[in-house]
């Protein structure tokens, strides 16, 4: 059966009214151009909830000036077909003006957590993320919401927001899904030429290498970072944006690996494309 497609918050709220008091509602917010990473979230959501809602909205507020909002890949027809195959119940695909009407002016800021790593390279990004996620949570009022570990900092920021703002939603973080060559799935992979894609593989390669060393007993963060940097330097087509080793709960710089509370996160530029990847020790 085709998912019920809703385009306004009134429509999706009305559609959800029948389930509100008797069913669990699972929610997967996305920016569309769905890949198997997204679909793994949808599958998990379906397993754990009576009703599954997927939103598709490319959120301008999480793109900085000069970033790729305008060219971000979109393919609603294909997305809807994929969601139909997975038997999603409700799709919410609002317009820009539905979400941000003229004069919109309210923003959510998660201090500190939103300022480091990607927040440092993309000022305002997590403010945009926190704001849209809060709005979508208020519209859908889900029992559980699903995010990918690929965006590890986003997951940490959203969990913090949910906790700080007393929101009643369980945040579920699902593992990174990779292509067979090791590259983490991302809608932005569509930007890569064949050469760029080959070059980008140095990022998961480097992460895998240091992860193995850590599992073998390496604990010194400066050695870990040197090793990551050296691996990245082997590939002339990429530029490192950052490589950081931080605590998973507070995103604070570590000197020593904590096997239960560490995020090793990297971001690189391959030509005009910015890609991120990470691994964690512990749980978000």
Catalytic residue flag (residue 260): no
Residues contributing to the site for its own copies (CB under 8 A): 9, 13, 21, 103-113, 130, 134-135, 138-139, 160-161, 164-168, 250
* Continuous segment of H or E residues that includes residue 59: none
Minimal distance, residue 145 CB to its own copies, in Å: 15
Task: Quote the DSSP letter at residue 67.
Answer: S
Q: Please report how close the Cβ of residue 55 comes to its own copies at its closest, in angstroms.
A: 12
Please say which residue, 66 or 101, places its beta carbon nearer to its own copies.
101
- Distance (Å, whole) CA 182 – CA 279: 13
Nearer to its own copies, 71 or 104 (CB): 104
Distance CA 267, CA 127 (A): 19
Q: State the nearest-atom distance from the C-beta of 110 to its own copies, in Å.
A: 5
Q: Among residues 54 and 113, whose Cβ is nearest to its own copies?
A: 113
Query: Which is the catalytic residue, given 35, 38, 125, 260?
Result: 38
The answer to whether 4 and 89 are in contact (CB under 8 A) is yes
Rounded to whole angstroms, how far apart are CA atoms 246 and 248? 6
Residue 207's contacts (CB-CB under 8 Å, 6 or more residues apart) are: 228, 264, 266, 277, 278, 279
Q: Which residue number, 104 or 212, has a Cβ lying nearer to its own copies?
A: 104
Which is nearer to its own copies, 78 or 107 (by Cβ)?
A: 107
We find the least distance from the C-beta atom of residue 100 to its own copies, in angstroms, to be 9
What is the C-alpha separation between 100 and 88, in angstroms, rounded?
26
User: Distance between CA 44 and CA 102 in Å, rounded?
Assistant: 36
Nearest Cα neighbor of 170 from 180, 179, 181, 158 is 158
Residue 276: phi and psi, rounded to 5, are -125, 160
**Nearest distance, CB of residue 197 and its own copies, angstroms:** 37
Which residues are identified as catalytic?
A: 38
């Amino acid at each position: 059966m085709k998912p019920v497609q809703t385009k306004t918050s009134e429509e999706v709220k009305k559609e959800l009214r029948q389930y509100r008091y008797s069913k669990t509602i699972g929610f997967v917010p996305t920016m569309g151009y769905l890949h198997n990473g997204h679909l793994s979230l949808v599958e998990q959501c379906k397993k754990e909830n009576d009703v599954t809602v997927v939103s598709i909205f490319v959120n301008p507020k999480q793109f900085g000036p000069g970033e790729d909002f305008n060219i971000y890949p979109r393919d609603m027809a294909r997305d809807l077909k994929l969601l139909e195959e997975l038997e999603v119940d409700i799709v919410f695909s609002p317009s820009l003006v539905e979400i941000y009407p003229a004069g919109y002016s309210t923003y959510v800021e998660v201090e500190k957590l939103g300022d480091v790593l990607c927040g440092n390279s993309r000022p305002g990004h997590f403010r945009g993320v926190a704001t849209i996620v809060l709005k979508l949570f208020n519209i859908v009022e889900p029992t559980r919401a699903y995010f990918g570990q690929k965006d590890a900092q986003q997951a940490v920021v959203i969990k913090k927001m949910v906790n700080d703002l007393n929101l009643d939603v369980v945040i579920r973080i699902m593992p990174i899904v990779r292509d067979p060559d090791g590259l983490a799935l991302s809608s932005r992979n569509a930007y890569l030429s064949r050469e760029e894609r080959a070059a980008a593989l140095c990022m998961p390669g480097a992460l895998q290498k240091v992860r193995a060393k850590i599992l073998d007993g390496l604990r010194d963060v400066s050695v870990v970072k040197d090793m990551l940097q050296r691996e990245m330097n082997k590939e002339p087509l990429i530029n490192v944006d950052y490589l950081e080793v931080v605590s998973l709960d507070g995103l604070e710089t570590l000197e020593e690996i904590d096997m239960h509370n560490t995020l090793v996160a990297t971001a690189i530029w391959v030509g005009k494309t910015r890609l991120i990847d990470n691994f964690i020790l512990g749980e978000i």
